Structure 1
Amino acid sequence: MSTVWDRTAEFLSDNLAGLMPIVLLGLFMPLTLLGNLMPLMKNDGQIADVAIGVIVLLLSVMTIWGGIAITALAFDPPAGRAAAVATANRRLLPVLGISLLTTGIALLLALPIGVALAMSGIDMTALAAGQQPAPPTNPGAVSIAGIYVLLLIPVLLWAYARFVLLITPIMVMERRGVGVYARSFVLTRGIGWKVVGLVLLYGIVSWVASSAANAVFGSVFRLLIGGRGQSRSHPS
């Protein structure tokens, strides 16, 4: 892990000028906006929610584009930012396709949780709307859902490290379709749990950095985006 961080720091220091525009446009701005737009959604099907949903979708695509561009620059720093951006533009749709497939697989794995909660008698509509649902009529189904979640979390973490983490680097360097999963499994053979540890460490660092960014810039975006909406909905 120390080698990974050392090489990351070296890459950042050597390519800071080329990275900054990509990071600001493809990661920092979308993630900051996402963190402040999501709380504004009321999940009531209104036009405002639809508009916010479309913006959130576009911002998510921008973060994927930014990740591809940074990966391309990391693989070939001498080629420069222009080549990295061209690679991101060219590989965005294939990476999006595989990302959608991966999301679909994850949703299928999580489907039993929804089935168990529905069988428990919990009002799923209220739960989806962020409201406090009535107590379940079948607590046993809730227990089954909880046990399934506890078992699913380590499985998903291991699967992410072995099958998903290297999708973008592989698709930047190699022209692959669904075979990217098998290629990722081969490349992480023998180091799976080390990769899991790296993912956990990266997640902690990302969470701290994201929280700091939202703390500094979040109030500005709330004033620009959310403040007026609140004043209109609660007239004095």
Structure 2
Amino acid sequence: MGNVWDRTMEVLNGRGGMLAGIAVLTLFVPGVISAAYAAYATPGTATAAIGALLALATSVAALWGQLYVIAAASDPGTDRASALRGANGRLLPALLLALALVAIMLVALLPAAVLLAMAGFDFAALSQGATQGTVAPGPALLASLYAIVVLIVMLFAGARLLPLYAVVLHERLGLGAIARSWRLTRRHTWRLVGVVLLFLIVLMIATSAAQSVGGLVFRIILGADARATVTFVAAVIAQAVSTALTLIAIVFSAQLYVALVARERLVRERAALGAVAA
């Protein structure tokens, strides 16, 4: 992991300008647009529907940007045009794969939702920001324990699938990229879990701190009456921090894929030499 991190820093130092431009276009700007709509739009059913569409568009742009960054970060000989062609060509398979993974996660969390419904949890009230009524403690506790187990499993699975979209891009696989990524990351599970967990902790702390401090500063500057503007500006600051950290994570995943493939090739060559020697 140390070598992968060193290569990640080398890529960011050498191609930082190009990669930052891609990240701003595909991660930062869509996030800012969504934040502006959330801050200034009038609450209502139509607003919620448009907000959902914006969230979907933001997710698609982020996935496209991830492919774009991976293509540019995997090989120093790849220029912007080649990286763009690669991202465009593999966007649809990546989208289908992402939808499949989301479906799997929703199915995995469905028992927790059923238990919460049995406990009397009001999902409609939650969506409207209303106060919850009385919830039965037994099913609610079971739902919480089940959700914790599922989240732990997702953490381990996410670690094993860290080079997933690099596989989609470079090896032109669809659903088969899941098995391929799983094979590549075997014997590296705990180290990858540590990397993913550390990144999530840093991301949550950094974005929350940036949003809280930014909101406090601009509330003092603009006044309490400019609540929507303060909320928007704080969200933009948090989005900037999130974009920078996400860019680092994507470049790391690209370099992880390169390192794992090189190691796999070396193991095969050594095995072939051993067979010849025998």
Q: Shorter chain as normaliser: what TM range?
A: 0.7 to 0.9
**Which fold has the larger relative contact order, with Cα–Cα distance below 8 Å and residues 6 or more apart in sequence?**
2
Gap runs ≥5 in structure 1: 228-236
Structure 1 letter corresponding to 2:151:
I
Structure 1 letter corresponding to 2:117:
A
* TM alignment of 1:156-195, pairs within 5 A: 156-162=154-160, 164-195=161-192
TM-score, length basis structure 2: 0.71
- Taking only aligned residues, the RMSD between alpha carbons, in angstroms, comes to 2.8
Structure 2 letter corresponding to 1:184:
S
C-alpha contact 2:35 2:232 (8 A) present in aligned 1: no
What secondary structure, in the 3-state scheme, does the structure 1 residue paired with 2:183 have? helix
The number of equivalent residue pairs is 224
What secondary structure, in the 3-state scheme, does the structure 2 residue paired with 1:165 have? coil
CA offsets 1:20-72 (integer angstroms, 9 cap, x no match): 22011012222344455556788852x22222221221111111111110101
Aligned residue number for residue 54 of structure 1: 53
The offset of 1:128, in angstroms, is 2.9
Distance 1:215 1:120, change over 3 A: closer
CA distance in 2 between counterparts of 1:217 and 1:224 reads 8
CA offsets 1:177-202 (integer angstroms, 9 cap, x no match): 21111111100111111111111122
What secondary structure, in the 3-state scheme, does the structure 1 residue paired with 2:79 have? helix
CA distance in 1 between counterparts of 2:66 and 2:209 reads 20
What secondary structure, in the 3-state scheme, does the structure 2 residue paired with 1:77 have? coil
Q: What percentage of aligned pairs have identical amino acids?
A: 36
Moved more, 32-41 or 64-73: 32-41
CA distance in 2 between counterparts of 1:208 and 1:40 reads 26
C-alpha contact 1:116 1:141 (8 A) present in aligned 2: yes
CA distance in 2 between counterparts of 1:94 and 1:168 reads 10
CA distance in 1 between counterparts of 2:194 and 2:44 reads 39
Distance 1:27 1:144, change over 3 A: same
Structure 2 letter corresponding to 1:176:
L
Rg larger in structure: 2
Moved more, 195-204 or 120-129: 120-129
Counterpart of 2:229 (choices 219, 223, 227) is 223
CA offsets 1:67-122 (integer angstroms, 9 cap, x no match): 11010111122121111111111111110100000000000000001100111122
Moved more, 198-207 or 110-119: 198-207
What secondary structure, in the 3-state scheme, does the structure 2 residue paired with 1:79 have? coil
CA distance in 1 between counterparts of 2:133 and 2:19 reads 50
C-alpha contact 2:71 2:78 (8 A) present in aligned 1: no
Distance 1:54 1:79, change over 3 A: same
* TM alignment of 1:84-163, pairs within 5 A: 84-136=83-135, 138-162=136-160
TM-score, length basis structure 1: 0.83
Gap runs ≥5 in structure 2: 223-227, 234-278
Aligned residue number for residue 29 of structure 1: 29
Aligned residue number for residue 198 of structure 1: 195
Distance 1:179 1:9, change over 3 A: same
C-alpha contact 2:31 2:58 (8 A) present in aligned 1: yes
